[in-house]
């Protein structure tokens, strides 16, 4: 959905990108994301056009293009 930082509303989706450490623990950030005006993303998007802030798949994945759009509120460690 573009070249940026990916976020998902679905913890199950994000879980698929985690890897267990030697203690079988996984880590995930609960993040607050400023989505703003969103457009449909695709693999060719490298820079967000004027008037938009994020790209999306239209459901639960959002891609940001500026570090200031996200704040990692909690680090969740789980098995």
Altogether, the residues listed in the chain come to a count of: 79
* Global confidence as pTM: 0.85
- Which domain CATH number covers 17? 3.90.228.10
- In the chain, the number of structural domains is 1
Over residues 34-74, the pLDDT tens digits come to 999 999 998 888 888 999 999 999 999 999 999 999 999 99
- Give the span between the Cα atoms of 16 and 5, in whole angstroms: 16
Paired tokens of 16: 């698929």
Q: Which residues does 28 contact at the CB level (< 8 Å), separation at least 6?
A: 11, 14, 15, 18, 75, 76, 78
The pLDDT value recorded for residue 70 is 97
Backbone angles phi, psi at 8, to 5 degrees: -135, 145
- Give the span between the Cα atoms of 65 and 28, in whole angstroms: 20
Q: Which domain holds residue 73?
A: 5-78
């Amino acid at each position: 959905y573009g070249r940026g930082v990916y976020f998902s509303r679905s913890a199950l989706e994000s879980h698929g990108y985690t890897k267990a450490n030697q203690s079988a623990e996984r880590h995930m950030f609960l993040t607050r994301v400023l989505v703003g005006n969103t457009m449909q993303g695709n693999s060719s998007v490298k820079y967000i056009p004027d008037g938009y802030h994020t790209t999306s798949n239209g459901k639960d994945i959002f891609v940001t293009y500026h570090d200031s759009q996200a704040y990692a509120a909690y680090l969740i460690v789980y098995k």
